[in-house]
Structure 1
C-alpha cells in the first residue's frame, strides 16, 4: 500500500493523503483583491487530488504585499473578494483549504517577477517598506525603515485581524509565513536583523517578535482550525540563520500550540549559496522533524512519485509538498496514484477520463473540509 496516499492529521484537520500544494504567488490581484485568474488557478489545484491546498502568500496589510499584484486580507473588500473566490471553487471541490498569512517587510514594493522583480523606484509608485533594521535586501536599493514599537503593535494586530477574516471566510487552516526572506524570517536572521534592543542580537531576542505574532494568532484561532508556520531552515550564508536555531524556534512554537512546521530555506540574502538538486531541502525537514516532533512538511524539487513515496516511507517528513510540478501538471497526484497503485479523490465529471486499466483510480469522499 502506498504510504503517500495514507491519511494524516495535522492538528484538528484530517488529510486524505500526504500530498500538499504549497503557496504559489500568482501576482494577479488588483488592490489586494483576488480576480477571475485566482478562480481558474485555484479551481485547477482544487481538483488535483492533493490532500491539502495552501493558497498563496496573503498580505496582512497593504504595505506587506510583495508586489502590486499580491493578494491581501486587510480590508472588507479584500475579504469579500477572497470569500467569493473560495466559495466558487468549493462548489466543485471538497479539498481542505489553508491560507498563508504574510508580510513581505523589506522585500515588499517590488515588481512582479516577469517585470524584473526588483524594488520599485519611488517615481514608479513604490511604498515605504519596513524591516527589523534599515538594511536593504540588495545593494543599491532604498533601505527599509527600521520598525518602531508602534510598528510592532500594528503588524501584530494586522496578523490577528487577517486570521479572524480567514476564519470568517471558512479556511480550514492558517500558515504563517516565516520563510523566504519575508518579515518574520527577517527578524529570525542575523543577516537582516541587526537591532540592538530586545528584538535583536541573541536567538532568544530574534525569535521574540515572530513568537509574539504566533502567540497572538493562536489566541484567536479556534481549536478546530489548524495553525502552523513555514520556516526557512537555513539562510545558506555563513553567519546566517542555521537549522539548529530554527529547530529551537520550532520547539518554542510547539509549546505555544503550533500544529505543523513547513520547512523551506533561503531567501534573505543574495549571497546565499544553494546547491540545487532533487530533494535538496528534505534533509532540513528531517532534522527539524526529529528535533521538534511536529508534523513536518518537506518541499523543494520533489518531482516524481517515487521521490515523494520514499520521503514518507523513510520517515524523512510526514507530508510532501509539490508546487511547481503541480502547476506544470495539475494532474500530478492522479498520475502518482496510478503509478503507486493507490486511489485519488477526483471530480465525477472526470471519472470517464481514467484509462480502462485504471478503472478504480478515483473515489469520491469528504476529505476534511469544514
Structure 2
C-alpha cells in the first residue's frame, strides 16, 4: 500500500472523494480494508497477508497525514479487523514520532491498534543498530533494513560481533557498464 493506489485512498491530501471512500479517516481506510478482507476470504487461513503503509509519498518523503493519529488508529483497526497478518510501517526514522500531534511513532500507533495476533514490522533508519534495538524494545515484532542491508549483507552478524558497519557505496550496486553487446542475444544469428 505504501506510496501506491491503496495509499492514495488513505492520504487526505490526495483523496478528495466525497463518497463512502473519501472524507473521514474511516471512509478513507475503507478501500484498503476491503481489499485486505477480499484477499483474506479468497486465500487459505495460513496465507500471510501483509500491508505496508507510510504517510510519505514517492514525490514527498516529508508528507504526513494532517489528521495523522486519527487516520493511523482507524487504518490499523480496519486492517487488523479485515484479516491482515502483519502491518509493515515505514518512514524516515522508525524511532522518531512522525505523526502530527502524537508523541508516538507510526509503529507504536500500529501496535496500539492491531490485534495481538497481527505482527508489526518497522522500517526507517534501522541500519543503525541502536535504532534497530529501540524499535524492537518499543514493541515492533520485526524490523526491516534497506540501505544497511545493501551495504552490509551480513548486518546481523556484524552487529552481534560488534564489528563496524560499512556505508553504502552505490557504485558497488549500480554498475552502469553492463550492456547487451557482451552477451548473446536470442534470435540474433
Cα distance between partner residues in 2 of 1:278 and 1:261: 14
Aligned to 1:159: none
Are residue 264 (structure 1) and residue 87 (structure 2) matched?
no
C-alpha RMSD of matched pairs (Å) = 2.6
Long gaps (5+) in structure 1: 1-177, 266-275, 341-370
- Do the aligned partners of 2:89 and 2:107 also contact (CA within 8 Å) in 1? yes
Cα distance between partner residues in 2 of 1:211 and 1:306: 34
Aligned to 1:240: 66
Aligned to 1:191: 13
Question: What is the CA distance between 1:301 and its match in structure 2?
Answer: 0.8
Cα distance between partner residues in 2 of 1:247 and 1:234: 17
Aligned to 1:328: 151
**Structure 1 residues 38-57: aligned runs within 5 Å:** none
Whose relative contact order is higher, 1 or 2, with alpha carbons under 8 Å and at least 6 apart? 1
1:226 aligned counterpart, secondary structure: coil
CA 1:246/1:278 → structure 2, altered by over 3 Å: closer, same or farther?
A: closer
Aligned to 2:130: 306
Cα distance between partner residues in 2 of 1:311 and 1:264: 12
Aligned to 1:315: 138
Question: What is the CA distance between 1:339 and its match in structure 2?
Answer: 3.3
Question: What is the CA distance between 1:228 and its match in structure 2?
Answer: 1.8
Cα distance between partner residues in 1 of 2:94 and 2:81: 33
Aligned to 1:253: 79
- Bigger share in strand: 1
**TM-score when scaled to structure 1?**
0.37
Question: What is the CA distance between 1:330 and its match in structure 2?
Answer: 1.1
Are residue 228 (structure 1) and residue 50 (structure 2) matched?
yes
Long gaps (5+) in structure 2: 99-103, 164-189
Aligned to 2:33: 211
- Do the aligned partners of 2:29 and 2:74 also contact (CA within 8 Å) in 1? no
Cα distance between partner residues in 2 of 1:231 and 1:283: 13
Aligned to 1:171: none
Question: What is the CA distance between 1:278 and its match in structure 2?
Answer: 7.6
Cα distance between partner residues in 1 of 2:128 and 2:32: 34
Question: What is the CA distance between 1:211 and its match in structure 2?
Answer: 1.6
- Do the aligned partners of 1:243 and 1:288 also contact (CA within 8 Å) in 2? no
Question: What is the CA distance between 1:192 and its match in structure 2?
Answer: 0.7
CA 1:239/1:250 → structure 2, altered by over 3 Å: closer, same or farther?
A: closer
Kindly tell me the number of residue pairs found equivalent between the two proteins. Answer: 151
Question: What is the CA distance between 1:304 and its match in structure 2?
Answer: 2.8
Are residue 200 (structure 1) and residue 22 (structure 2) matched?
yes
- Do the aligned partners of 2:89 and 2:120 also contact (CA within 8 Å) in 1? yes
**Structure 1 residues 54-73: aligned runs within 5 Å:** none
1:229 aligned counterpart, secondary structure: strand
